[in-house]
Each structure stands twice: as structure tokens, then as C-alpha cells.
């Protein structure tokens, strides 16, 4: 039992660590592979409820997913921000909103440069 608890803690920490690395260091092609929905959006509202942050996003550009969507609401465990050393997005921030097939969501800051990299890596347009 003495050796089992540290091993269990390691297995619990690894998915969070992998998620953090993905959120901070991902290439555009990896976002396309991971996400079913991938958008540039402005944060319109942030609400915290029972350890979960609910972010209302106004879609500015859809990279992948249903076209014509104007809004998107994602749920992010509030522990993720601190664990990944990410700031909780504030109203008005431009973010990359991503949702995978398991309904796991990630929201990270989005720069104009990274938008261009996402456009260039789009499977629909291919590398430019």
C-alpha cells in the first residue's frame, strides 16, 4: 500500500500534465487532430459553479466544426487554470476555443500570429 499511493498519484497527475503541455505547446495541426470544434472567439461571460467555469464565447472565426455558429459555451474545470499556469480568460479576451469528441474543452489565449498559423494549417486549405 505504501508504494501504491505514490504510483496512483503519478497516474492521476499525468493526464493533467499532458493536458497542460497540450494547451500551452500545441502546433496548429495537433489542434485540428484533437478538436471536433475549433474556433477563434471573444469571451462574453465567465461564471463559476461547483468547481467548473462556464465560458460563453462569441465565435469570430470557425476553423473546424459547424459553420455559422455564433456562440459557444464551454465548461472547464477551474483547477485546470492553476495546474496549467493559465490565466482564467476575462470578458473581452480573444481565445481559441476547442471541444473534442468526448466534450473535453480547452480555452487558451489566441494571438493574431497564431490565427494565421491555424489558417495555414487548415486541412481544408492545406499548407500555403
Inside any domain, residue 14: yes
Q: Total structural domains in the chain?
A: 1
Inside any domain, residue 128: no
Inside any domain, residue 108: yes
Inside any domain, residue 44: yes
CATH value at residue 78: 2.40.50.120
H helices of the chain, in order, are: 4-25, 28-34, 78-83, 112-121
Burial class (CB in 10 A: 0-12, 13-18, 19+), 12: exposed
Inside any domain, residue 96: yes
Inside any domain, residue 127: no
Cell of 119: 489558417
Provide the domain limits for residue 110.
4-121
Inside any domain, residue 92: yes
Q: What is the pTM of this model?
A: 0.80
Instruction: Give residue-wise pLDDT tens across range 49-107.
Output: 999 999 999 999 999 999 898 999 999 998 888 888 888 999 999 999 999 999 889 99
Cell of 125: 486549405
Instruction: Give residue-wise pLDDT tens across range 5-18.
Output: 333 333 333 344 45
Q: Which residues pair with 97 in a beta bridge?
A: 39, 107
Residues 6+ apart with CB under 8 A from 73: 54, 55, 56, 57
Amino acid at each position: 500500500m505504501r508504494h501504491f499511493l505514490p504510483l496512483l498519484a503519478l497516474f492521476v497527475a499525468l493526464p493533467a500534465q499532458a493536458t497542460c503541455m497540450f494547451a500551452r505547446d500545441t502546433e496548429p495541426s495537433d489542434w485540428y487532430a484533437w478538436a471536433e470544434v475549433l474556433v477563434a472567439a471573444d469571451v462574453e461571460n465567465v461564471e463559476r459553479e461547483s468547481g467548473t467555469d462556464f465560458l460563453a464565447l462569441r465565435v469570430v472565426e470557425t476553423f473546424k466544426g459547424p459553420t455559422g455558429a455564433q456562440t459557444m459555451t464551454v465548461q472547464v474545470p477551474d483547477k485546470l487554470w492553476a495546474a496549467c499556469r493559465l490565466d482564467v480568460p476575462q470578458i473581452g479576451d480573444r481565445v481559441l476555443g476547442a471541444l473534442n469528441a468526448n466534450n473535453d474543452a480547452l480555452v487558451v489565449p489566441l494571438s493574431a500570429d497564431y490565427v494565421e498559423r491555424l489558417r495555414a494549417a487548415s486541412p481544408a486549405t492545406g499548407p500555403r
